[in-house]
Amino acid sequence: MGAQYSKQVDRRKGIAAEKKTLEDLEKKSGDDFPGSDYHPSDRKNWMSGLDPSRIHINKIVWPGTHDSATNKIGIRFISRPFAQTQSLSIYEQLVLGTRLLDIRVQEDRRVCHGILLTYGFDVVVNDIKKFLSETESEIIILEVRTEFGHEDPPEFDKYLEEQLGEHLVHQDDHVFGKTIAELLPKRVICVWKPRKSPAPKKGSPLWSSGYLKDNWIDTDLPATKFESNMKHLSEQPPVSNRKFFYRVENTVTPQADNPVLCVKPVTGRIHGYARLFVVECFNRGFADRLQVYSTDFIDTGFVDACAGLTKSRLDDEKPQVSDM
């Protein structure tokens, strides 16, 4: 008992030290970066507001949500706090400005997070369709994967194509160099990641797992996650030379050996440092590599940071007016 208590005391001290590391870095670096003062007047249509005829797909900074469909997971007040990473519905997230969704499914097409279940995938589809019907030029990356420990839903690729077919952008390396306007009216890039079923092939309405990459660091230590994210991002090619999407997760996750197992207080250790990460991308020379940026409990500040950085890239492409 004494050894276990001592271990937990050390853990608390370690977490406090890591939080202070980020606090000190923020005091030193601030939270200003090119585009940081931009706030879309209409987050539901923030891509439309930045001129779809000029925004190339590979230059967008996509605000994403981690474990997107967990707003009603498990049992309220009982199991939900241990698995809930978003408080908004899929539709509400999209209206807020989210443009990448991370959905986990099990054999019966129900959404899950580990062993906990929530609504069926049809709820996700209906929310996406509602959002698409109310907007014109917003592009969504929809990642769907079979959750670890589960089997693939039977013929799920056919189901996705049947439900979203008219909206699906087909798998094609040339998409990265196209503008939003050149993709329209297609508006959903759907990445399907089965565990055992065949992966989508080139030219398919669905995209294979290699087109959405990340380096998941499973830790509850905020500075460790922050610096690991920075290291892995630094190893990626610039977005202009990339034929895949690369995701950075501004999250930390509860660990089994820590008494704090509820998601919100744990992920809150890093949640407020999303803008600092963008600042440090500029300070360290990696800003041209940030592309998909995801978080738990997404908010307007997170969306604005991504939209602002996208706008700054668009502004950088404007032809310079000569003084002559």
CATH of the domain at 57: 3.20.20.190
pLDDT value at residue 323? 43
pLDDT value at residue 259? 73
Which position has the token pair 């580990």?
Answer: 114
Mean pLDDT of 73-89: 95
Ramachandran angles phi, psi of 103, nearest 5° = -115, 130
In a domain, 282, yes or no: yes
Which position has the token pair 């706008």?
Answer: 311
In a domain, 321, yes or no: no
Confidence label for 83 from pLDDT (cuts 50, 70 and 90): very high
In a domain, 66, yes or no: yes
In a domain, 47, yes or no: yes
Residue 202 structural domain: 15-314
Say if CB 222 and CB 24 are below 8 A apart: no
Residue from 61, 41, 34, 38 nearest 310 by CA: 61
In a domain, 1, yes or no: no
Helices (H), ranges, 31-164: 90-96, 121-134, 156-164
In a domain, 3, yes or no: no
Query: How far apart are alpha carbons 87 and 260 in whole angstroms?
Result: 19
What is the per-residue pLDDT across 102-144, written as a single tens digit (0 to 9) for each?
Answer: 999 999 999 999 899 999 999 999 999 999 999 999 999 999 9
Q: Taking all residues of the chain, what is their mean pLDDT, rounded to a whole number?
A: 94
Mean pLDDT of 78-98: 97
| Beta pairing class for 140-146 and 188-193 | parallel
What total number of domains does the chain contain?
A: 1
In a domain, 8, yes or no: no
242-to-75, 80, 86, 143, 174 alpha-carbon distances in Å? 42, 38, 30, 18, 11
Share of the chain above pLDDT 70, in %: 96
pLDDT over 80 at 3, yes or no: no
pLDDT over 50 at 324, yes or no: no
In a domain, 36, yes or no: yes
pLDDT over 90 at 12, yes or no: no
pLDDT value at residue 8? 76
What is the per-residue pLDDT across 233-266, written as a single tens digit (0 to 9) for each?
Answer: 999 999 999 999 999 999 999 998 777 789 999 9
